[in-house]
Amino acid sequence: MAKQTVLVTGGAGYIGSHTIVELLANNNYDVISADCFFNSSPKAYTQIEQITGKKIKSYNIDLCDEKAFDKIFAENKIDGVIHFAAFKAVGESVEHPLKYYHNNIASLVNLLSLCEKHKVQNVIFSSSCSVYGNVQKLPVDENTPMPKAESPYAYTKQIGESMLEDFCKQHTTFNAIALRYFNPVGSHISAKIGEWPLGKPNNLVPLITGTAIGKYPQLTVLGGDYPTRDGTCIRDYIHVTDIATAHVLALNYLLEHKNKSNYDVYNLGSGNGVSVLEAIAAFEKVSGKKLNYKIGDRRPGDVIAVYSDSSKVQNTLGWKCEHDIDSMMKTAWEWEVYRTQNNF
């Protein structure tokens, strides 16, 4: 495959930065990043360069500004887009729904409009297991019916998938894949990039590592009375590098014209349900640190339990989950230590 140019939106973010590293390691791609650093840092680009030895072209723009967004397409010949840029905090979306509807939907509308204008025909969309809501049967596969979303964030992902499917029906030469990934954790093996939220994080693992290193006095487990084996929510945790690899495989699949339909969806998960308390126990085992935590109230918008059947992506794209929960926690902790030592 000749070298092609990929636009990664949200490229300074957690999954975006890891995906850029995998794209550059693949050596088939030139990468352009777009990020407005709402919940990320431009230092991520420096860290990517340290890992890969390659400097990437980047734009500091808000994707909801179509005129500014158009500049990227006008100045570069783009062969494909991997679209990560979105607000992603479940709890915040419940408190500020319009913020999420505006940002997550308007940015995708602009992306698809500009793809149409500039004849860019391949998009990988960052979706989420949150589209499944509270399901009756586990594990979930791609044919599991989607119920009413439990949060505005989840609903924006359902809407995003519908937008892509409708756009693909209208434009038969346009290709899109939505990757419904489960709970991303861990960091790059180098420990030079990882989950890098600005302010106090909303996700479990950076709260665990931040508490262990002394940034936060205590971790509050959000709910201990769920109908699960230990009363805490169950999630399917997946290493961020495994997610990044899947995005590269999905993009290769489209650019090599291997897809049989121009729109498809795939789950990305380990297939294993891990409770919050089990995740804490895994962290304590690999770090050797006892975590200070308490059981608190439930968080609005959280589903009780969800984990995946990811056989479709394994069979079609040849992807598989390479990391277990211990590896996820070990690399997350190594990143937390590195980040603290370097005052990030």
Name the residues annotated as catalytic. 153
- Rounded alpha-carbon distances, angstroms, from residue 38 to 61, 170, 180: 10, 33, 23
Backbone φ and ψ of 289, nearest 5°: -115, 140
- Give CA separation, 206 vs 173, 187, 245, 280, in Å: 41, 11, 22, 11
- Which one, of 304, 322, 186, 194, lies nearest residue 249 by Cα? 322
| DSSP letters spanning 169-194 | HH-TT-EEEEEEE-EEE---TTSSS-
Say if CB 56 and CB 17 are below 8 A apart: no
Q: Which of 234, 298, 301, 230 is nearest to 269 (CA)?
A: 234
Distance CA 179, CA 251 (A): 11
C-beta separation of 273 from 308 below 8 A: no
Contact 27, 102 (CB under 8 A): no
As a residue count, the chain comes to: 344
| DSSP secondary structure, 38-101, as one string | SSS-THHHHHHHHHHS---EEE---TT-HHHHHHHHHHS--SEEEE--S---HHHHHH-HHHHI
| Sign, Cα dihedral of 195, 4, 256, 63 | positive
- CA distance linking residue 29 with residue 52, whole number of Å: 13
Compute the distance between CA of residue 299 and CA of residue 276 in angstroms, rounded to an integer. Answer: 13
